[in-house]
Amino acid sequence: MTMPISKKIIFYVLLAVSGIIVFAPTLMAFMMSFMSNKDIMTGSLPTSLSFDNYVKAFGQFPLLKYLFNSFFISIIIMIGQLLLSSLAAYAFVFLEFKGRDLLFYLFIATMMVPFEASIIPNFHIIRDLGWIDTYQGLSVPFFAMAFGTFLLRQNFRQIPKELREASQIAGMGDFKFYLTVVLPVAKTSLITLGVYGFLTSWNMYLWPLLSTTNDSVRTVQIGLKQLQTQEQLNDWGVIMAGAIIVVIPTLILLFLGQKKLQKGLTEGALK
Amino acid sequence: MSMSNAVVRTTELKQLDFEQIKKKQRTKSFLKGMMFLLPSIVLFSIFLFYPLLRTIYLSFFLTDAKGVTTVFVGFDNFINMFSSPIFIQSIQSTFLFVLYTVPVTIIISLFLAVIANEKLKGIGFFRTIYSSTMGISVAAASVFWLYLFHPTIGMLNVILGTLGFENIGWLTDPTWALIAVSVTTIWMNIGFTFLILLGGLQSIDTYLYESADIDGAGYFYKLRRITIPMLSPTLFFVVTVTIINAFQTFGQIDILTQGGPQNTTNLIVYSIYREAFVNYQFGSASAQAVVLFIIILLMTLLQFKFGERKVHYQ
C-alpha cells in the first residue's frame, strides 16, 4: 500500500526533527572536538577547524594505553561470556539430567541481583585475590551471564532434536556436537551476543572505577573522567576530543550490527 | 516348578541390571550436564551469590577500613539508616528519579519507534540515528551534557538567554539538579528502549493491519487498537528494564553532580559508593545495599504480578 504524499511529508518532518534533537548532543561534541577553545568560550561558530584537540588529548594523557586496555578487557569479557553462555545454554537445551529445572531457576534468580547491591564483597574478593589493577579483576566477574544463556537457549532450541539423535547414533559425543554443529548453526546469535557483550563491557563505569588505581589497566571511560576533572583550564575541546575517541568504536559497532542486535535482543527478551 | 523359579530369578536379575544401568546412566548424564554448567555456576557463586549473602551478613556489623567485621550490632545499621535524614533523602531522590525518567523514556522511545516503523525511503538512516545513544557510554554522555548544562557557555543557558530568560544553574541549583540528571539519563536510555520497541513493532503480524485497512480504520484507531495491545509484552519488558536501570544509576551522578547540591542527586547507588569507598563504613553501606536489593526484587515481582493481568500475550 502506498502512502499519500501529504502523509509522507508529515512523517519525514517528524523523523527529521526527532533525528536532529536526538543526535544534537553527539553532533555538538563532534564539532567542538575540532574547534579552538576561544571559539568555544565565546560561543561563536567555528572560525577554524583542526586536530589540535586530539593531539593534545593524546599528548597529555595515556589515552592510547587506556584504549588498548578497554579493547583487551572488552574482548576477554566477550569471549568469556560467549563460551560460558553457550555451554550453559547447550546443557539446558540438549542434556536431560536431574536438577536441570532447578538450576534453570537459579539462573533466572541471578537476574534479580543487581551487581551494585553486591559490589562491596565483590571488591573485597578481588582485593583479597590480589586482582586489583589486573585484567582478570576487570573481566572474570562478568563471564557468567544469565541473559546470554537465555538468548542462546532460545536459539539452540530451534535446532532439530533429530540432528542430535543422528549424531549420537553416529557416535558423536556431546562436546563434539556442541563444537561442530551447534556453534556454527547459532553463529548469528553468537555475533549478536558478542556485540552486546562488547558494547556493555566497553561502557562499564563503576567497576573499573573501583578496581583500578593506576594507569596500567585503567579503561578509557575512567580516563575520560580523569581528563574531565584534571583539565584545569576547562579546555572543552580537548575533553570532547577524548569523549569522541571513547564513543567511536562503539558507534561503529552499533551502526554495523544495529539490525542484528535489535532482532537478537528482542528475541532474548521476550520468548 | 524349578524351571519357573529359574525364569523368575533371571527376570529379577535383568531388572536389577536394568535399574543399575539406568542409575549409572543418570549419574553420567548428571555429570555431563554439570560439566557444561559448572563454569557459570562457579562464577555465579563467587561473584554473585556469595557476595549477596556476604552483603546481608555485613549489614549486621561494624567493620574496620579494610572491611573486616569488628562489632556485631544487630539491626543498628538499619535503624540508624532509616533515622538518617540523608538516607531518607537519598531514597526520596531515587524514587523521584525513577518517576522522572521511566515514563518519559518510554513515551519518547515509543514515539520514535512508531514513526521509524513506517516503510519509507531512507528509514534505516533514522533508525540508526535514534539507536545511536545506546553506543554512547555513560562517561561520554555525561561529559556531553556537562557542557550543555554549563552555567555560562552551555548551550541550554545560551538558548535561554537569547529567548530572554534568566540563566538556570542546572547542576548547582537544588531544584534543577535532579531534573538535569534525569534529562541526561532519558537521552542515554532512548537508544536501547527504541531498539527493543522497534523490534516489538516489527514482529506484529501485518495481517492485522491489512484487515483493519479493509474495514477502513484510521491511523490512530489502528495505533490504539492494534499496535499498543500487541506491543504490550515488549512495553512490559522495557518498563521493567528501565525501572531497574534507574535504580542502578551511578556514572551520570559521579561525573555531573557527585551527589550534590545539598544531596539532592545522591541516588542510592551513589550513596552506597560514598558510604563504602569514601567513608569506609562497609557495615552501613551494606545495609543500604540490602535495601537496594529488596527494592529491585520487589519491583521485579510487582511487575510480574501486575504485568501479567494487564499484558496481552499472543
Identify whether A210 is part of a domain. Answer: yes
Say whether both B119 and B48 belong to one domain.
no
Regarding whether B274 and B185 lie in a shared domain, the answer is yes
Are B47 and B134 in the same domain?
no
Q: How far is B36 from chain A (nearest CA, A)?
A: 5
Q: Does B273 lie in the same domain as B130?
A: yes
Residue A226 domain-assigned? yes
CATH number at residue B228: 1.10.3720.10
Look at residue B63 and tell me if it is in a domain.
no
The answer to whether position B249 is within a domain reads yes
Cell output for A202: 566497553
Is B46–A202 a contact, with Cβ atoms under 8 angstroms apart? no
Q: Is residue A240 part of a domain?
A: yes
CB distance from A51 to chain B under 8 Å? no
Looking at the structure, tell me whether residues B270 and B231 fall in a common domain. Answer: yes
Which ipTM score applies to this complex? 0.89
Answer yes or no: do B53 and B165 share one domain: no
For residue B234, being part of any structural domain is answered with yes
Q: Does residue B75 lie in a domain region?
A: no
For residue B13, give its domain range: 2-58
Chain B residues close to A202, C-beta within 8 Å: 137
The answer to the question of residue A245 being in a domain is yes
Q: Tell me which residue range forms the domain holding A93.
A: 61-270
B/e letters for A229-267, b = 16+ CB within 10 Å, e = fewer, are eebeeebbbbbbbbbbbbbebbbebbeebbeebbbbbbb
Question: Do B46 and B94 sit in the same domain of this protein?
Answer: no
Q: Is B99 on the interface with A (CB under 8 A)?
A: no
Extract the runs of DSSP E, i.e. beta strands, from chain A.
none
Q: Structurally, how many domains does chain B consist of?
A: 2
The whole-angstrom distance between B146's CA and the closest CA on chain A is: 10
B188 within a domain of the structure (yes/no)? yes
Inter-residue contact B116 to B290 (CB < 8 Å): no
Residue B132 has its nearest CB partner, among A14, A23, A114, at A23
Of B41, B115, B148, the CB nearest to A14: B115
The sign of the torsion formed by the CA atoms of A232, A237, A238, A243 equals positive
DSSP for A211-229, please give it.
H--STTT--HHHHHHHHHH
User: Hey, is the C-beta of B153 within 8 angstroms of any chain A C-beta?
Assistant: yes
Q: Is B213 found in the same domain as B161?
A: yes
Residues B35 and B118 reside in one and the same domain: no
Rounded distance between C-alpha atoms, residue A53 and residue A59, angstroms: 10
Is B150 contained in some domain?
A: yes
Domain CATH for A119: 1.10.3720.10
pLDDT value, residue B311: 44
Is A47 contained in some domain? no
* Nearest chain A alpha carbon to B298: A112
- Beta-carbon separation of A12 and B131 below 8 A: no
Asked whether residue A149 is assigned to any structural domain, the reply reads: yes
Query: Do B153 and B289 reside in the same domain of the chain?
Result: yes
Whether residue B284 sits in one domain with residue B200: yes
**pLDDT tens for chain A, residues 1 to 271:** 567 888 899 999 999 999 999 999 999 999 999 998 878 877 777 778 888 899 988 988 889 999 999 999 999 999 999 999 999 999 999 988 888 889 998 888 888 888 888 999 999 999 999 999 999 999 999 999 988 998 898 888 888 888 888 888 888 888 899 999 899 988 888 988 998 899 999 999 999 999 998 888 999 999 999 888 876 657 889 999 999 999 999 999 888 877 777 777 766 555 4
Contacts of A29 in chain B (CB under 8 A): 140, 143-144, 147
- The residues of chain B scoring below 70 in pLDDT are 1-15, 303-314
Note whether B12 and B106 are same-domain residues: no
Task: Answer whether residue B107 is part of any domain.
Answer: yes
Number of domains in chain A: 1
Q: pLDDT averaged over chain B?
A: 88
Residues 275-294 of B with CB under 8 A from A: 276-277, 282, 285-286, 289-290, 292-293
Identity of the residue in A203, A254, A265 whose CB atom sits nearest the CB atom of B138 = A203
Assigned domain for B77 exists:
no
Facing residue for A97 by CB, picked from B29, B131, B251: B29
The predicted pLDDT at position B229 comes to 87
A140: closest chain B residue by CA: B43
Asked if A28 lies within 8 A of B250 by C-beta distance, the reply is no
> How many Cβ pairs within 8 Å bridge chains A and B?
275
Residue A13 lies in a domain: no
